Amino acid sequence: MKIHCGRIGIIVFFMCIVYSSCTKNKQKSLVLSKYECNFGKVRHGVLCADFVKLYNKGKKDIRVSRVGGDCGCTTVLIDRRIIVPGDSTVLHFSLDTKEKIGKIVNYIIIEANTDSVVHYVRLLATVE
């Protein structure tokens, strides 16, 4: 069995070109208005609330399959789960501090049919 190194090299070369052309300059289709929300110093027992806008910068519909917090103290609601190209939706969230004290770092998790399947928003607060 004879292996043709020249042919294999050419095939590998073209595979690299195809791969780089598919991944090069890829834009994010889902863009968030912010990726971190710092509530600063808050009193114990306070309900902190804010929102994030989710923008579809791609060419296909984005379907948000799941939104949620990494802790039971975080409540998350989304206005619409399907975002058409050029449009946006709002993700409302709140952080309940009644069971917390000190520095808090929580995450909102957003799952969608995008290149990066999971997106995060980091929530920060110092409960006094």
**Alpha helices of 77-120 — where are they, by DSSP H?**
none
Judge whether residue 31 has pLDDT over 60. Answer: yes
φ and ψ at residue 64, rounded to 5 degrees: -85, 110
The ranges assigned to domains in the chain are: 30-127
User: Considering only 3-12, 61-70, 82-91, which range has the smallest mean pLDDT?
Assistant: 3-12
Residue 23: its pLDDT value, please? 47
How do residues 84-94 score in pLDDT, each as one tens digit? 999 999 999 99
- Percent of the chain surpassing pLDDT 70: 78
Q: What is the pLDDT of residues 88-123, one digit of tens each?
A: 999 999 999 998 999 999 999 999 999 888 999 999
- Helix, strand, coil shares of the chain, percent, nearest 5, are 15, 50, 35
Residue-level pLDDT at 20: 45
Distance CA 10, CA 51 (A): 51
What is the topology classification, in CATH, of domain 30-127?
Answer: Immunoglobulin-like (2.60.40)
Whether pLDDT at 24 is above 70: no
Name the average pLDDT for the chain. 86
- pLDDT on residue 21: 46
Closest CA to 48 of 7, 120, 104, 10: 104
